[in-house]
Amino acid sequence: MTTMKSDSLLLVKSNSIIRSMYDSTLMVNRILDVAISELQLNTYMDGEDLTVVLSPNKIRSIIGVGNSIYSNIKGVAASLTGLVIGYEDDENKKLHYTVIVVDTKYDGKLTITFNKQLRPLLIDFKNKFTQLYFDFVMRLESVYSYRLYQILKSVAYPGTHECRIEDNNTYYYTITVDELRLRLGSVDINEAGVSEVLKDSIRPNYKKAVAAANRVANRDWRDFSKNALKKAEKEISEKTDISLSIKPQKDGRTIESLVFKISYKDIPPRNRTYNEEVPPIDWDDHIKEVKDIMRGIIDISDGEALDILKAANNDLAVINEKRKIFKNPENVDNKVGWMIDAIKKNYKLTPGIGSSWKSNFHENHYDFARLEEELLEN
């Protein structure tokens, strides 16, 4: 794998991925998009695993200060692994089901491995793609706004055949309510009744698929309008480069479709990459993560967690690494002292040594107040 240059302001996605159907949280969507962008910064040989590693700073820029990275990412990693999407297979003209992420792990850094079968839709596409600015995308705080904004950007462009164009700047896009529910993730496409209708279908009956679902988020039209559409209409108009209005269309007494009026605003994105400005360190946040890492060996105080954190120069991956090689904690009385010594002296696990750490470590009774002063000075 070699690294290549890319405009890190942009998120470039194939339209098939943008419009694919899957049920997930806002956080999962954000992580998935950053991982896709990171994937495109590299060149992969044929057959090579499509693996990316997201650093803590990049993850923190997505989640925001005040949330525990360790606890959030573990949940995201679990949700990403085996995530099934339904996407339109243009070549075979049918809706295809597949897993998008085959493996994830988090050890201070998040490693994501994508399904190699989706390579043509992740990195090798030459057409039918959409360029999005991270600066606009990451402002959206509702999963419905997040997904809808990308769908609308994928259909509203000069020369489009999917919208009616007015004055070269205003686009009208029509979609049925049921299809939109599926594309926004309001319905779990893995439910047996839903997948039976959708899978391998050339022209899926979206209304029948939604009717077959046991669980539909905001099933009642009034709830869907209030909690999804109106919120998205307001947020997208206020925070992105498009103004949006939504007009319901009735068939008899039932609202069957929606017309989206999309007008572009002359607002450039901020001239920076979305993850360039690393937030100031939130020590309380990191302390919680260190305590999570150490749990199972010892329950430590906030002060002890801070000492370990500073010894590692705020690198959670280092702390996690030393925690993993702590083979016999019951043989060490001063476990915090051992961790600090392991970090400062860069202990390594080698054959024949894994069970004899105590003999290699002189258990100092650390003066933690003095130690903290030394660490702060350094």
CA distances from 87 to 93, 154, 158, 185 (A): 10, 14, 24, 13
- Residues 248-263 have pLDDT tens digits of 999 999 999 999 999 9
Residues of the chain above pLDDT 70, percent: 80
* Cβ-contact 174, 249 below 8 angstroms: yes
- Helix locations, the chain, DSSP H: 15-18, 26-39, 56-63, 69-80, 119-122, 134-137, 143-155, 177-183, 192-198, 206-212, 221-224, 231-239, 283-294, 302-311, 316-324, 335-344, 357-360, 368-377
CATH fold label, 1-133: Arc Repressor Mutant, subunit A (1.10.10)
Contact 298, 329 (CB under 8 A): yes
Residue 221 carries which side chain, given as an amino acid letter? Answer: W
pLDDT of residue 10: 82
Contact 311, 294 (CB under 8 A): no
The Cα–Cα gap between 80 and 25 comes to: 10
| pLDDT digit string, tens, across residues 295-338 | 777 788 888 888 888 888 777 778 887 887 776 666 677 888 88
Domains 1-133 and 139-268 share a fold: yes
Gap between the Cα atoms of 28 and 222, Å rounded: 27
User: Other C-beta atoms within 10 Å of 18: how many?
Assistant: 24
Residue 154 and residue 19 in contact, taking contact as beta carbons nearer than 8 Å: yes
Q: In the structure encoding, which two tokens stand for residue 361, read together?
A: 């470590």
State the pLDDT confidence band at 68, using cuts at 50, 70 and 90. Answer: low
Question: Could you tell me the residue ranges of all domains in the chain?
Answer: 1-133, 139-268, 283-377
Among 103-112, 150-159, 353-362, the range with the most confident prediction by mean pLDDT is: 150-159
Give the pLDDT band (50/70/90) at residue 65.
very low
CA distance linking residue 112 with residue 91, whole number of Å: 27
Query: Among 367, 320, 314, which residue's Cα sits nearest to residue 342?
Result: 320
Q: Report, as an integer, the average pLDDT of 61-82.
A: 70
Please check whether the domain covering 139-268 is classified as CATH 3.30.470.20: no
